[in-house]
């Protein structure tokens, strides 16, 4: 398979994740859609690394994976804290950012 | 053979992604993301990056998704309200996504990079295996590696602080 196919698939997955962020209300599902977008970026990075024939792009993908794991941990911690305070788990109701 | 594997994995990745954004119950969304991640690992293997594929399965599909399943079970998946703050948001968002896809595709295919329509250069047998990635991480990219470990430590501490039960919040 040529590299173009992987890159177009990556663009398609990225747009799917962006649509999910726009139409969903639950912060948990929005975090999942963020994961989709980060993984689409990873696919593009690995495809470019293969295109150049240099493994350094894969290091970038591994670091992106680390950052995604950190983001998930902090985001899920926030969701648990919101749930403990009996606030609604809905990004439209939580837009005021007050304690 | 390679084409069949690519299209099977691509359909799996796309189907998983659509499941994530279409399901009302967050638990099914998490299961869709697991399918998506496994399909992406197959795609990484097709791009001869064995270490990234293994890390994808172990870190994402193993650890991160278990965390998601725990939080979904703790919080419980409720239905979302149909109220829209912006009128017509549900119809505008897919149009915007389509526009984003067309734009990205034009950017990729119109970039006139000649190597895009090849399979990539022939690489040696050890390309992207754990030994090669480990050598790069510990020699050339030692500083980013250490910085990412500090970031992981900070995230762990931050999650404990955020999710800890607070006395004054209870009162």
Q: For residue B99, what is the nearest residue in chain A, using CA coordinates?
A: A15
pLDDT top residue among A7 and B112:
A7
Which residues in chain A (62-81) have CB-CB distances under 8 A to chain B? 62-63, 65-74, 76-81
Q: B148 and A5 in contact by Cβ < 8 A?
A: no
Give contacts of A54 with chain B, Cβ < 8 Å: none
pLDDT tens digits, one per residue of B106-145? 988 888 777 777 777 777 777 888 888 999 889 999 999 9
Q: Shortest CA distance to B13 belongs to which of A68, A3, A36?
A: A36
Q: Shortest CA distance to A52 belongs to which of B119, B68, B63?
A: B119
Question: Alpha-carbon distance A31 to A78, whole Å?
Answer: 11
| Whether B144 contacts A63, CB under 8 Å | yes
For residue B121, is it left (φ>0), alpha (ψ between -120 and 50) or beta? beta
User: What pLDDT score was predicted for residue B23?
Assistant: 85
Burial of A17 (0-12, 13-18, 19+ CB in 10 A): buried
Quick check: B171 pLDDT over 50? Answer: no
Provide the mean pLDDT of chain B.
Answer: 85
Q: Shortest CA distance to B23 belongs to which of B77, B62, B67?
A: B77
User: What pLDDT score was predicted for residue A98?
Assistant: 64
pLDDT top residue among B62 and B169:
B62
Query: What's the whole-model pTM score?
Result: 0.88
Q: Is the ipTM of this complex over 0.85?
A: yes
Q: Give how far Cα B17 sits from Cα of B9, B31, B110, Å.
A: 12, 10, 26
Residues whose CB falls within 8 Å of the CB of residue B9, separated by 6 or more in sequence, listed in order:
B39, B40, B42, B43, B46
């Amino acid at each position: 398979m040529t590299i173009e196919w992987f890159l177009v698939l990556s663009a398609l997955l990225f747009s799917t994740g962006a649509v999910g962020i726009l139409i969903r209300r639950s912060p948990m599902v929005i975090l999942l859609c963020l994961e989709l977008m980060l993984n689409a970026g990873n696919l593009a990075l690995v495809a470019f690394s293969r295109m150049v024939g240099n493994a350094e792009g894969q290091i970038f993908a591994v670091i992106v994976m680390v950052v995604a794991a950190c983001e998930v941990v902090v985001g899920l911690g926030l969701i648990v804290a919101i749930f403990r305070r009996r606030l609604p788990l809905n990004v439209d109701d939580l837009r005021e950012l007050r304690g | 053979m390679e084409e069949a594997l690519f299209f099977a994995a691509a359909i799996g990745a796309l189907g998983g992604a659509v499941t994530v954004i279409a399901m009302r119950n967050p638990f099914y969304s998490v299961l869709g993301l697991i399918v998506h991640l496994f399909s992406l690992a197959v795609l990484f293997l097709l791009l001869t990056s064995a270490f990234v594929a293994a890390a994808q399965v172990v870190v994402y599909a193993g650890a991160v998704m278990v965390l998601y399943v725990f939080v979904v079970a703790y919080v419980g998946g409720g239905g979302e309200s149909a109220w829209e703050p912006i009128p017509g948001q549900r119809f505008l968002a897919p149009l915007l996504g389509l526009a984003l896809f067309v734009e990205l595709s034009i950017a990729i295919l119109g970039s006139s990079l000649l190597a895009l329509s090849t399979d990539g250069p022939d690489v040696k047998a050890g390309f992207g295996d754990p030994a090669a990635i480990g050598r790069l991480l510990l020699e050339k990219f030692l500083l980013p590696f250490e910085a990412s470990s500090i970031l992981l430590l900070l995230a762990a501490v931050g999650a404990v602080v955020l999710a800890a039960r607070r006395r004054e919040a209870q009162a």
